Amino acid sequence: MAAMPTPDAVMDLIRRELIECAVEEPVTVDTRFDELEIDSLDAAEMMTAIKREFGVTLSRSSLTDSTLGQLVDLVVAGAAEPSTAS
């Protein structure tokens, strides 16, 4: 079982992914994901990176309807939920 992600670890991953998407503006926990002007492929890559790193699956709407801080909270909360897979 993977270690529980910290908010800092999740935000670091998000920042790394945004750099790969060529987002140059500074991002904070209050930055809205839908204001970053990244395309749907970049959003899908972000969701894949989060799933690979933290085992949390997010919907596309959870990205577009959230600030980065809310996204971090979703990932941390999602990682805390017990797996239903057997």
In a domain, 85, yes or no: no
User: Which whole number is the average pLDDT over 10-21?
Assistant: 92
pTM metric for this prediction: 0.83
* Residue-level pLDDT at 64: 79
In a domain, 61, yes or no: yes
Backbone φ, ψ for residue 65 (5° rounding): -95, 15
In a domain, 57, yes or no: yes
User: Which whole number is the average pLDDT over 63-74?
Assistant: 90
Backbone φ, ψ for residue 42 (5° rounding): -65, -40
Identify whether the C-beta of residue 61 lies closer than 8 Å to the C-beta of residue 34.
no
Q: Is the pLDDT of residue 1 over 50?
A: no
Q: Is the pLDDT of residue 86 over 70?
A: no
Residue 49 sits in a domain whose CATH number is 1.10.1200.10
In a domain, 86, yes or no: no
- What's the structural domain count of the chain? 1
Bridge-partner residues for 67, per DSSP?
Answer: 32
**Locate tokens 């991002």: which residue?**
27
Record the tokens describing residue 28, joined without a space: 């904070």
In a domain, 59, yes or no: yes
Q: Is the pLDDT of residue 15 over 60?
A: yes
Range of the domain at 63: 7-80
What is the spatial distance between Cα 23 and Cα 83, in angstroms, rounded to a whole number? 33
In a domain, 2, yes or no: no
